[in-house]
Structure 1
Amino acid sequence: MKNRLNNWLQRIWYQRTSPPVLLRPLSHLFRHIVLKRRAWYGAHPEAARRLPVPVIVIGNLSVGGTGKTPLVIWMARFLTQAGYRPGIVSRGYGVRLRQPLLVTAEFDPAQAGDEPVLIAQKTACPVSVFPDRARAADVLLAAGCDLIISDDGMQHYRMARDIEIALIDGDRRLGNGACLPGGPLREPVERLDSVDFVVCNGGQAQPGEYPMLVTGSTAVNLANETVTRPLAAFQGEKLLALAAIGNPQRFFNSLQETGLTFAAKVLPDHHAFVASDVEQENGITVLMTEKDAVKCRKFNSSALWYVPVEAELPIAFGDRVLDSLKKITKVKQNG
Structure 2
Amino acid sequence: MISLNALWRNLSNKLFSIKNKIINLWDKDEKSLSFFNKIILYFLFIFEFFYKIFFQGFIFWNKNFGKPLKTNFKVISIGNISCGGTGKSVLARYLIENIKAKGAILLRGYKSQNEKTGKSFLVSDGNNIFCKSDFCGDEAFMLASSLKIPVVIGKNRSKSVDLLNNLGCNYLVLDDAYQNFALKKDYEILLLDARNPFGNNHCLPAGPLREKDINRADIIIFTHADEIDDKKRLELKRGIKKQNIFFGKHALSFFMNSEMKRFLIDDFESKRFVAFAGIGSFSGFCRSLEKTKINLVKSIEFEDHHQYSIQEVIKILEISDSLDAFGVITTLKDWVKICNFFSELDPKLLKKIYFLDISFDFLNKEEEILFFNLIKI
TM bracket, shorter-chain basis: 0.7 to 0.9
State whether residues 141 and 336 of structure 2, in contact with CA within 8 Å, keep that contact through their aligned partners in structure 1: yes
Map of 2:257 onto structure 1:
221
2:111 aligned with 1:91, yes or no?
no
Take 1:183 and 1:125, find their aligned partners in 2: how far apart are those partners? 36
> Secondary structure of 2:215's partner?
helix
Map of 2:334 onto structure 1:
292
Map of 1:265 onto structure 2:
300
1:60 to partner: Cα distance: 0.4
Q: Which has the higher contact order (CA 8 A, sep 6+)?
A: 1
1:173 to partner: Cα distance: 1.9
Map of 1:113 onto structure 2:
137
How many residue pairs are counted as aligned between the two chains?
319
Q: What whole-Å deviation, never above 9, does each CA across 1:262-307 have from its counterpart, x for those lacking one?
A: 2000011111112222222345310111111111112331110001
Map of 2:53 onto structure 1:
32
1:123 to partner: Cα distance: 2.0
State whether residues 77 and 188 of structure 2, in contact with CA within 8 Å, keep that contact through their aligned partners in structure 1: yes
Map of 2:35 onto structure 1:
none
State whether residues 53 and 146 of structure 1, in contact with CA within 8 Å, keep that contact through their aligned partners in structure 2: yes
User: Greater CA deviation, 202-211 or 112-121?
Assistant: 202-211
> Secondary structure of 1:137's partner?
helix
- Which 5+ residue runs of structure 2 have no aligned equivalent? 1-13, 32-37, 343-349
Q: TM-score, normalised by structure 2?
A: 0.78
Map of 1:307 onto structure 2:
356
Which among 26, 32, 42 is matched to residue 63 of structure 2?
Answer: 42
1:260 to partner: Cα distance: 2.2
1:153 to partner: Cα distance: 1.4
Q: What whole-Å deviation, never above 9, does each CA across 1:147-187 have from its counterpart, x for those lacking one?
A: 11101111112222221111112223221111111111111
State whether residues 54 and 325 of structure 1, in contact with CA within 8 Å, keep that contact through their aligned partners in structure 2: no
Q: CA RMSD in A?
A: 2.2
2:46 aligned with 1:11, yes or no?
no
State whether residues 253 and 359 of structure 2, in contact with CA within 8 Å, keep that contact through their aligned partners in structure 1: no
Q: TM-score, normalised by structure 1?
A: 0.88
Residues 41-60 of structure 1: matches in 2 within 5 Å?
41-45=62-66, 47-60=67-80
Map of 1:332 onto structure 2:
none
User: Greater CA deviation, 119-128 or 66-75?
Assistant: 119-128
User: Greater CA deviation, 208-217 or 290-299?
Assistant: 208-217
Q: What whole-Å deviation, never above 9, does each CA across 1:182-206 have from its counterpart, x for those lacking one?
A: 1111112xx1122111111113342
2:96 aligned with 1:76, yes or no?
yes
Take 2:254 and 2:368, find their aligned partners in 1: how far apart are those partners? 26
1:58 to partner: Cα distance: 0.1
State whether residues 330 and 354 of structure 2, in contact with CA within 8 Å, keep that contact through their aligned partners in structure 1: yes
Stretches (4+) displaced over 4 A:
314-326
Take 1:323 and 1:141, find their aligned partners in 2: how far apart are those partners? 27
Q: What whole-Å deviation, never above 9, does each CA across 1:54-112 have from its counterpart, x for those lacking one?
A: 21110000011111110011111222x2xx22111000012224532112364410121
1:14 to partner: Cα distance: 2.9
- Which 5+ residue runs of structure 1 have no aligned equivalent? 330-335
Residues 274-289 of structure 1: matches in 2 within 5 Å?
274-279=309-314, 280-281=317-318, 282=321, 283-284=324-325, 285-289=327-331
Take 1:218 and 1:118, find their aligned partners in 2: how far apart are those partners? 16
The structure that has the greater radius of gyration is 2
1:40 to partner: Cα distance: 1.6
Q: Percent identity?
A: 24
